[in-house]
Structure 1
């Protein structure tokens, strides 16, 4: 795929999560990712993945690590940076790493960020408040008081390239950089189908009525724990209206989108979502099809 956090995914090797001997055997030559409380990874002076000194690594407790999976027989683990008694030369955020790191490392980092965020914010049972004990290589939190089990959660959200047949609908939020525009998106609510979410979110954010929608692709989006479900939608040519969620929404023609994709928008044209995101891919996919007349 032409967006981040998809290519190079690890073999999750779920069957090893209950096998402490197998995990211990992987540990001596494991690839490790250390993340701070803000979700940034420890990095070397060139912004690459940080390899701790042997002495510092020897003091790390493997029991604190979350097992991410396997690649070519090598285990990958994620730990909070507090588990390491050593300073790294730098720290790198996930968006920067997505553009700079190899796909394998960036995709593993995305997984690590999501699961460590869950662990940091689910230390107690949501039903009774008792402290959780974690097992299965970090993937299961168990409450000894009420016997509930807690697993990492993912929040599904739709992201939609909406077209009236000639134009593409884009919106912008108030906090975005000037001239930044993107396709519309929103979270799935309980009891909804994905298609219902597409129609509801597009109408709520822009007043545009969706006729039909089709699923295209998905992207993990660990900011902090979403799964973006990419759709294209056919809609009525309704004039967009400003909503509480967007600062502006408007239709863009094929030539405007093409210029933006080529970086030729000038001082007044739109700036599109970064290339690491499925939103950029959806825009580019729409433009390619519109240019072919399909």
Structure 2
């Protein structure tokens, strides 16, 4: 797919400078660089400054004095880029995040940050960010999330230490090295003639439908995973499968692998554990959904690869 890397979180080309991660002296020099900037992260929420930019701060900003861990993201054309975790900060009660919601609409304003900055869900702003800010936000959220969720060594159970500028955890007890994980997920644009197969999971907002998706299993090819997931969830057999595009998806640590597949039949048999509903949707109805005019299907989420695939299917740009 020629425009694959125009998907949100893709195509920025950030120089991650992995060779620098183990060089303490060079990292210190980059941190002291007056052009260096840091994006604070609070409990998975990046700091935003305005509606469409990350809330970068200088490395000597007072709010970073108790931040931990700090992750080296890479070298931007404008200078070094880092992320720092401010999750130890406790907001006032009325600014606490929502719990159990599909999307947390609450925003938190740290008193030590500029008045224009607030912590907010990346899902709500991802489509409005520049490609570079989007890549930095996704990387920072995923790596800091991994550092929190993998504090203890999976080999011996001892607490591990952050190393390599946030890109490793090393166990001081058994010496095991642990690295950030990425979970591959296939997401499928399954078509039959002029129609596309969409489904919705239990608990999703009213009218929200998307392409079917599922985690790949060990020992499984991409094509096999597509066929298995579609058959398990909707009872549809799939023939040919081809790759289209991929998207890092830091909720919390997936790589969405976008594919196109041709359905061999159309009778739907739902797995009620995975799907609340599934349906075949014509191009005409999909166009109405994108325009916000369909009576039952809402427009796909901006920035998500499902919407990217569906939009380009409508425009006949899957080559």
TM-score w.r.t. structure 2 length?
0.83
Q: Which moved more, 1:91-100 or 1:50-59?
A: 50-59
> Paired residue for 1:59?
65
> Paired residue for 1:110?
138
Paired residue for 2:230, among 202, 206, 219? Answer: 202
> Paired residue for 2:168?
140
8 A Cα contact 2:8 2:304, kept in partner: yes
Note if 1:50 corresponds to 2:55: yes
CA distance in 2, matches of 1:60, 1:30: 18
> Paired residue for 2:21?
17
Paired residue for 1:251, among 251, 260, 280? Answer: 280
CA distance in 2, matches of 1:100, 1:223: 18
Paired residue for 1:261, among 282, 287, 290? Answer: 290
Note if 1:87 corresponds to 2:145: no
Q: How far 1:64 moved relative to its partner?
A: 3.6
> Paired residue for 1:279?
306
Q: How far 1:113 moved relative to its partner?
A: 0.2
Paired residue for 2:248, among 203, 209, 220? Answer: 220
8 A Cα contact 2:40 2:86, kept in partner: yes
8 A Cα contact 2:72 2:81, kept in partner: yes
In structure 2, runs of 5+ residues without a counterpart are 90-109
Q: Which moved more, 1:200-209 or 1:272-281?
A: 272-281
Paired residue for 2:37, among 26, 31, 55? Answer: 31
CA offset digits 1:107-130 (Å, max 9, x no partner): 201100000000011111012111
In structure 1, runs of 5+ residues without a counterpart are none
SS of match in other structure, 2:169: strand
8 A Cα contact 2:244 2:259, kept in partner: yes
TM-score w.r.t. structure 1 length?
0.90
SS of match in other structure, 1:289: coil
Q: How far 1:132 moved relative to its partner?
A: 0.8
Which structure shows the higher helix fraction? Answer: 1
Count of aligned positions: 288
SS of match in other structure, 1:134: strand
The alpha-carbon distance between structure 1 residues 92 and 214, as it changes in their structure 2 partners (threshold 3 A), is same
Paired residue for 1:7, among 8, 11, 19? Answer: 11
Note if 1:100 corresponds to 2:128: yes
Q: How far 1:195 moved relative to its partner?
A: 0.5
8 A Cα contact 2:51 2:125, kept in partner: no
CA distance in 2, matches of 1:51, 1:4: 20
8 A Cα contact 2:66 2:86, kept in partner: no
8 A Cα contact 1:9 1:108, kept in partner: no
Alignment of 1:160-179 (within 5 A): 160-179=188-207
CA distance in 2, matches of 1:174, 1:127: 36
